[in-house]
Amino acid sequence: MSVEAGELRIPVVWSQDCLLHEPGGEVWLGLREAGTEVPERAEAILRALRDAGAPVLPARRHEIADLHAVHHPGLVRHLASIWADWEAGGYVSEHGRDRVVPYVFPTAAMLAGLPARPPAAAHGRVGLYCYDTMTLIGPGSWQAIRAAADAALTAAELIAAGRPASYALCRPPGHHAGPDGYGGSCYLNNAALAAQALRQAGAGRVAVIDIDAHHGNGTQAIFYARPDVYYGSVHVDPGAGWFPHYMGFAAERGSGPGTGANRNLPLAPGTGDNGWLAAVAQLCRDVRRHGAEAIVLSLGVDAAAADPESPLQVTADGYLAAGELIGRLGPPVAVIQEGGYHLPTLGQYVLAALAGVQSGRPAVGQPPASQ
Ligand code: SP5
Ligand code: ZN
């Protein structure tokens, strides 16, 4: 790896509150299983980046209203209050349900065109904004969800202030969360919040490059009709049977004024560095053509060969090369942590990606005045 100890200069934005979310597993096909989105993920990443010498900055607290930049207030209110409702409703004490898990979902098929009326019972209401059974909520979840969003917004502010790169160690991840729905271990869309904050800070065009192993259906949904925020993703082909199953196909190119500003590059299971990097390079060509003035990198490292959640076979050197391609594009890069679940190698993969961004951007770590 090209970054030796003491050499990673990209600021790492972090909040201890990100450890408070303990999903307690996931309900998959009707059975509760040990989940892979665990607090130890963040601890492993933080350790690797600290060991490499990276400066660690606290996430700045933002207003609830700042979360409405990309999310409906109803979703935000729901996430902030549903655990208290669940506890007060006796689902823990009387029914032994220690996490929020919905059982009825107001899908288009159920509603038949009528609006979703918020259910009176908490056990009905828990499905209102949720689209799967794998994204549980517990006592500390909201504090972590909010802290992850704070970290992403802080990382965006660092590059808006002139830093060439920043990294938010967000947990829980965010790219599966849409304007008014959550799932896929994601609750609020950290990367979308960062992208929108960069627009509001003056970048005329922003690009989100998503290299998590899964399609970021939430980020795509948020920006699908917009020409000002490009979304490009390389991921394992949902058409080959992979989450999120319903989105992430190549034909999804954006809608209305956003037509052409969305790109999906689905890859066959088993794809390794060569195929994956060719796709990343294609996204980079898109970003140049789009004219982005700031870049948000949704960095999931679950495309790693050893990762339990994806069949892609990317090496740490592959992530290093991807970081380099993206760093070399020129605009400043706010890197947002998404997935990545293989605890023994997770930290090294994130470090590799950031080292790549840094080596593509020689000015990383210099004070803003030198920009
Ligand atoms: C942010 C992110 O990477 N979210 C990915 C969520 C994908 N989860 C898919 C889970 C599919 C079921 N897991 C199987 C576990 C079998 N024990
Ligand atoms: Zn993923």
pLDDT digit string (tens) for 197-245?
Answer: 999 999 999 999 999 999 999 999 999 999 999 999 999 999 999 999 9
- Confidence check: pLDDT of 369 > 90: no
Instruction: Report the pLDDT averaged over residues 135-160.
Output: 98
Q: What mean pLDDT do residues 105-131 have?
A: 97
Question: pLDDT of 69-92, one tens digit each?
Answer: 999 999 999 999 999 999 999 999
Over residues 5-25, mean pLDDT: 94
Locate all alpha helices (DSSP H) within 201-342, ordered by sequence.
Answer: 217-223, 273-290, 316-327
Distances (CA, A) of 261 to 224, 231, 257: 8, 6, 9
Q: What is the pLDDT of residues 258-316, one digit of tens each?
A: 999 999 999 999 999 999 999 999 999 999 999 999 999 999 999 999 999 999 999 99
Average pLDDT of the chain to the nearest whole number: 96
What whole-number distance in Å separates Cα of residue 346 and Cα of residue 201? 32
> Burial letters for 311-341: b for 16+ Cβ neighbours within 10 Å, e otherwise?
bbbbbbebbbbbbbbbbebebbbbbbbbbbb
Alpha carbon 282 to chain centroid, angstroms: 21
Whether residue 367 is predicted with pLDDT greater than 80 in this model: the reply is no
Closest protein CA for atom 2 of ligand 1: 339
Query: What's the pLDDT at 34?
Result: 97
Task: Name the residue with the closest Cα to ligand 1, atom 17.
Answer: 33
Position 361 scores a pLDDT of 81
As a whole number, mean pLDDT of residues 355-361 equals 94
The neighbourhood of ligand 2, an ion, using CB within 5 A, equals 212-214, 300, 302, 339
176 included as an active-site residue: yes
User: Does ligand 1 come within 6 angstroms of the Cβ of 242?
Assistant: no
Q: Interhelix angle for 190-200 vs 141-160, to 10°? A: 30
Kindly name the residue from 71, 123, 176, 215 that is annotated as catalytic: 176
Specify the residue with its C-alpha closest to ligand 1, atom 7: 184
Contacts of 55 (CB under 8 A, 6+ apart): 9, 11, 12
- Paired residues of 232 in beta bridges: 209, 263
